[in-house]
Structure 1
Amino acid sequence: MGAVFAAFLCGTYLRVGALEFRYVVQPIVWLSYIAFIGSFYIFDLYSPFKYFRPVQTAVEIFYSVFVGSLILAAASYFDRSLLIARPIFVMAVCFLVLFVFCIRMLYDLLFRFRLFDKRTVIVGAGPLEYEVARLIRRTSYSGIRVLGLIGVASSSHEKKGSTLPILGTTSELLRVINLHNVQLVILAMELSETSSESDMIGTLFNQPVQVVSAIQLFEKLERSVPCRLVNEHYILTLIEEAKRKQYLKVKRMLDVLCSLVLLVVLLPVSLLTVLLLSFQDMKRIFFVQKRIGRNRHPFQLFKFRSMIQGGDGKKIISGLGKWLRKYRIDELPQIVNVLKGDMSLVGPRPETDNFIERSYRYIPSYHAIFALRPGITGWAQVNFKHTTSERGYEKKFCYDLYYLKNFSLTLDVSVLLKTIGIILRGKGR
Structure 2
Amino acid sequence: MVITLAAGKKINDSLQTRNILCVLLLLGDILGLLLSFSICLWLRLGQNLNGFDPLIYVFFFLVLTGLYLADTYHPDTQIAGLRAPARILISNFVVAAIIAALIYCSGIWAKDLLLKRGILLPSLGLFTIWAMASRIGAAQWAKSQAQHSRWLILGAGQKAILFGKTFLERSSLGRLIFLTTGEQNTNELTENHRVSVGNLHELTEWSQQAWSGVVVATPTELSDVQMQQLMQLRLSGVSIYGLPDICETLWYKLPSSLLQDNWLAFGAGFNLTADSISQKLKRLVDMILSCCLFVFLSPLMLLAALAIKLDSPGPVFYAQIRTGLEGKPFKVYKFRSMYQDAEKRGVQWADKQDPRITRVGRWLRITRIDELPQILNVLWGEMSLIGPRPERPEFDVKLRQEIPYYDLRYVVKPGITGWAQVMYPYGASVEDAYEKLAYDLYYIKNYSLALDLAIALKTIRVVLLGKGR
Q: TM bucket by the smaller chain?
A: 0.7 to 0.9
Which residue in 2 is equivalent to 1:58? 85
C-alpha separation in 1, matches of 2:362 and 2:418: 21
Partner SS for 2:222: helix
Contact 2:366 2:463 in 1 (8 A): yes
Q: Deviation of residue 348 (structure 1)?
A: 0.3
Contiguous gaps of at least 5 residues in structure 1: none
Structure 1 pair 336–116 and aligned structure 2 pair: CA distance change class (3 A)? same
Which residue in 1 is equivalent to 2:455? 415
Cα deviation, 1:244-267, whole Å, max 9, x if unaligned, reads: 344333322222222222212211
Contact 2:367 2:463 in 1 (8 A): yes
Alignment partner of 1:242 is 2:242: no
Q: Deviation of residue 288 (structure 1)?
A: 0.6
Partner SS for 1:396: helix
Alignment partner of 1:150 is 2:190: no
Partner SS for 1:290: strand
Partner SS for 1:196: coil
Normalising by structure 1, we get a TM-score of 0.87
C-alpha separation in 1, matches of 2:282 and 2:97: 29
Alignment partner of 1:3 is 2:29: no
Which residue in 1 is equivalent to 2:20? none
Cα deviation, 1:284-308, whole Å, max 9, x if unaligned, reads: 1100111121222322111001111
Q: Deviation of residue 239 (structure 1)?
A: 8.0
Alignment partner of 1:204 is 2:230: yes
Contact 2:156 2:178 in 1 (8 A): no
**After superposition, where does 1:401-412 map in structure 2 within 5 Å?**
401-412=441-452
Amino acid at match of 1:418: K
Partner SS for 1:21: coil
Q: Deviation of residue 5 (structure 1)?
A: 2.5
C-alpha separation in 1, matches of 2:303 and 2:204: 68
**After superposition, where does 1:155-174 map in structure 2 within 5 Å?**
155-156=183-184, 159-162=187-190, 163=192, 164=194, 166-174=196-204
Contact 1:235 1:368 in 2 (8 A): no
Contact 1:285 1:305 in 2 (8 A): yes
Which residue in 2 is equivalent to 1:217? 246
Contact 2:76 2:139 in 1 (8 A): no
Structure 1 pair 196–272 and aligned structure 2 pair: CA distance change class (3 A)? same
Contact 1:139 1:221 in 2 (8 A): no
**After superposition, where does 1:335-350 map in structure 2 within 5 Å?**
335-350=375-390
Amino acid at match of 2:393: D
Alignment partner of 1:21 is 2:52: no
Contact 1:363 1:394 in 2 (8 A): yes
**After superposition, where does 1:28-177 map in structure 2 within 5 Å?**
28-47=55-74, 50=77, 56-69=83-96, 84-85=114-115, 87-114=118-145, 117-142=148-173, 145-146=174-175, 148-151=177-180, 153-156=181-184, 159-162=187-190, 163=192, 164=194, 166-177=196-207
Which residue in 1 is equivalent to 2:424? 384
Alignment partner of 1:298 is 2:329: yes
C-alpha separation in 1, matches of 2:344 and 2:182: 62
Structure 1 pair 425–181 and aligned structure 2 pair: CA distance change class (3 A)? closer
Which residue in 2 is equivalent to 1:276? 307
Contact 1:124 1:149 in 2 (8 A): yes
Cα deviation, 1:25-49, whole Å, max 9, x if unaligned, reads: 2212223343332222222112376
The answer to which of 240-249 and 255-264 deviates more is: 240-249
**After superposition, where does 1:244-263 map in structure 2 within 5 Å?**
244-245=274-275, 246-263=277-294
C-alpha separation in 2, matches of 1:312 and 1:212: 46
Q: Deviation of residue 176 (structure 1)?
A: 1.7
Structure 1 pair 299–225 and aligned structure 2 pair: CA distance change class (3 A)? same
How many residue pairs get aligned? The number is 420
Amino acid at match of 2:299: P
Contact 1:118 1:184 in 2 (8 A): no
Alignment partner of 1:356 is 2:383: no
Contact 1:235 1:365 in 2 (8 A): no
Contact 2:178 2:196 in 1 (8 A): yes
Structure 1 pair 70–215 and aligned structure 2 pair: CA distance change class (3 A)? farther
Amino acid at match of 2:412: L
Which residue in 1 is equivalent to 2:23? none
Q: Deviation of residue 175 (structure 1)?
A: 0.7
Identical pairs, percent:
29
Partner SS for 1:289: strand
Amino acid at match of 2:128: V
Cα deviation, 1:188-218, whole Å, max 9, x if unaligned, reads: 34xx44x339985443112323322222221
Q: Deviation of residue 140 (structure 1)?
A: 4.8
The answer to which of 307-316 and 356-365 deviates more is: 307-316
Contiguous gaps of at least 5 residues in structure 2: 1-29, 346-354
Partner SS for 2:385: strand
Alignment partner of 1:285 is 2:312: no
Alignment partner of 1:184 is 2:213: yes
Contact 1:301 1:337 in 2 (8 A): yes
C-alpha separation in 2, matches of 1:352 and 1:150: 43
Contact 1:121 1:148 in 2 (8 A): yes
Contact 2:182 2:199 in 1 (8 A): yes
Partner SS for 2:153: strand
